[in-house]
Amino acid sequence: MEKCTRRDFLKTAGIVGGGIVLSSGSLLHAQEAALKGGKKVNVALIGVGAEGKVLLESMLKIPYINFVAICDIWPRNAKYAFVKILRGVKQKPKIYEDYKDVIKNHAKELDAAVIATPDFWHAPHTNAFLEAGVNVYCEKMMSDTVEGAKSMVRAMKKSGKLLQIGHQRKSNPRYIYAHDVLLRKVGICGTIMACNGQWNRAVTKDIVVNKNVEIPQETLKKYGYKDMHQFLNWRWFKGLGGGAISDLGAHQIDIFAWMLGARPSAVMASGNSGYYENHDWDDNVMCIFEYDKSFQGKPVQAFYQVLTTTSSGGGYFESFMGDKGTLKMSENADISTLFRENSVLKEEWDKLAKEGVIGEGGAVAAVKKADVRESGPLAAYGFPKEIPGFVEGKPIHMYHLENFFGAVQGKNKLSCDAAHAFEAEAAVFKARDAIAAGKKLTFSESDFVVD
C-alpha cells in the first residue's frame, strides 16, 4: 500500500465549500456583513415540503444567502419558510403560489433558484428558471421520466447557466476522501470485485392532515394532484414520483458508478408490493448491476436493495469489497467502517492508521491461520478523525449547497451538474424498466448521453 497522508487530500478537499457552522448570533452578524459587502446571492426557494425544509435549514447557515422569494402551493409550507427565514436571518422574502410569478417578478435579480418540488415538477420548474437566465439547484430525481430528465440537460446547455442536481454525496468531504485517497491513492480494498448497498426503512404510515388545512380541490387539480393524499404522498404515485428505488436508491446507485469509475453494463431487478394497499410503486426492490470494467480494469457486480417494510440490516450504506479489505460508507459516520481481510498483515493497516490515513483498529477476536479462508470476524478500522473540509455536525446537504453557490460566485466547479447526474439516474430508470420487464436488461452508450 502506497503511503498517503491527509496532506495529499488537501487539493481535492479544496473543491468543497468547507465553511463553518455558525451559532445563531454569529450567523446574523456574518449575514449582515456579507450582505453589506455586496457578496449576497439572491435565492428563490421553490417547494417547501419535507426536502425543501431540509435545504432551507442548511441555507439558513450560509451567511451570504439573501432570500428573495418563497413558492409553494400550500400556504402552510410557505408560512413555515417565511417564519424560519424571518427569525433566522431577519429577511422578508415575497410569498408566491405559482412559480411563473416568481420568474415574472424576480428573474432579473435572482442569482439562483433552489427547487425541491415533487419529481414530476422538476423539469418544468428547472427549465423555466434556466430559460429565464437563473442558475438552478434541483433535487434528485431530475424527473419522473427519462425524457423529462433529458430536457433539463438540454436546457442547461442551451441557457449556459448552472444546474446542480441534489446527489449531495458528491460534495461530501468523507466521500471524496474515500474516492480519491482510500480507493485510488491507497488501494485500501485491494482488487474490488463486488459492491453492496442498501437503504432499509421501517413501516411508515401515509401522511395525513386535518381537513381545515387542506389545499382547495381546484388548486390541487391545477397543479396535477388528484387529491390531498396524492399531494402529501406523491413519491408513491406513478406520474408524480418514482417510488423507493428513485427516492432513496438514486443516491446510492450513483455512488456505485462514481466509486467504481464505470457505467453499468446490465441490470436485473425485482420488486414487490402489496403491503401498502394504496401505493402505485413497489414497496421493496432488489437489483444487481453489472459493470464490465471498473477503474481497476476488472468486472464488478453490485447488489442493491431498498426496503420500506423493515429497518433491520444496518440502515443505509454502500460497501466496496476487495481482496484486501472492505470500505463501508454512509452519510452516517457511525456506520462507516473499514474492514481488513485476515490474509492482510495487520502491520500494513496499523501503519496507515499511525499516519492518519485511516482510523485506529478496534478490538477484534483472534483468528487462527487455519481460519483465514473462512468467514471469520474481520478487523475493523475507521476513518481518520480529521478529514479536510469535513466539519463535525454540519448538515449533510450543506456541502452540496455551498458547492453550488460557490460555483454561482465563480469560485469552484459544480460537483454534480445535470449531465453527470443524468448518467447516474439513467441506471435507476433502467432498473425500474427491468422490474416491469421481469428480465435482465443491458445498457447502451446512448442510455447515458443526452444529445
Dump pLDDT digits (tens) for 406-443: 999 999 999 999 999 999 999 999 999 999 999 999 99
Residue 370: pLDDT over 50: no
Over range 54-78, report the average pLDDT.
98
**Under 8 Å between Cβ of 270 and 414:** no
pLDDT for 35 equals 52
Q: What dihedral do alpha carbons 221, 227, 230, 231 form, nearest 10°?
A: 60
Over range 134-146, report the average pLDDT.
98
- Compute the distance between CA of residue 285 and CA of residue 323 in angstroms, rounded to an integer: 28
Residue 28: pLDDT over 90: no
Model confidence at 311, pLDDT cuts 50, 70, 90, reads very high
Q: Smallest Cα–Cα separation from 47: which of 87, 90, 98?
A: 98
Over range 377-404, report the average pLDDT.
94
Lookup result for grid cell 460555483: 407
Residue 372: pLDDT over 70: no
Please compute Rg for the chain using Cα positions: 23
Over range 62-76, report the average pLDDT.
98
- Compute the distance between CA of residue 257 and CA of residue 427 in angstroms, rounded to an integer: 9
Percent of the chain past pLDDT 70, that is, above it, reads 88
pLDDT for 32 equals 54
Give the Å distances, CA to CA, from 264 to 165, 177, 291: 20, 23, 5
Query: What is the amino acid identity at position 138?
Result: C
The mean pLDDT of the chain is 91
Task: Tell me the per-residue pLDDT of 248-278, one tens digit each, with 9 for 90 and over.
Answer: 999 999 999 999 999 999 999 999 999 999 9
14: cell is 479544496
Model confidence at 22, pLDDT cuts 50, 70, 90, reads very low
Over range 98-127, report the average pLDDT.
98
Residue 368: pLDDT over 70: no
**Under 8 Å between Cβ of 311 and 322:** no
**How crowded is residue 227: how many other Cβ atoms within 10 Å of its Cβ?**
12
Give the Å distances, CA to CA, from 124 to 119, 149, 201, 430: 10, 10, 30, 22
- Compute the distance between CA of residue 287 and CA of residue 269 in angstroms, rounded to an integer: 4
pLDDT for 183 equals 98
| Cα 104 from chain centre | 30
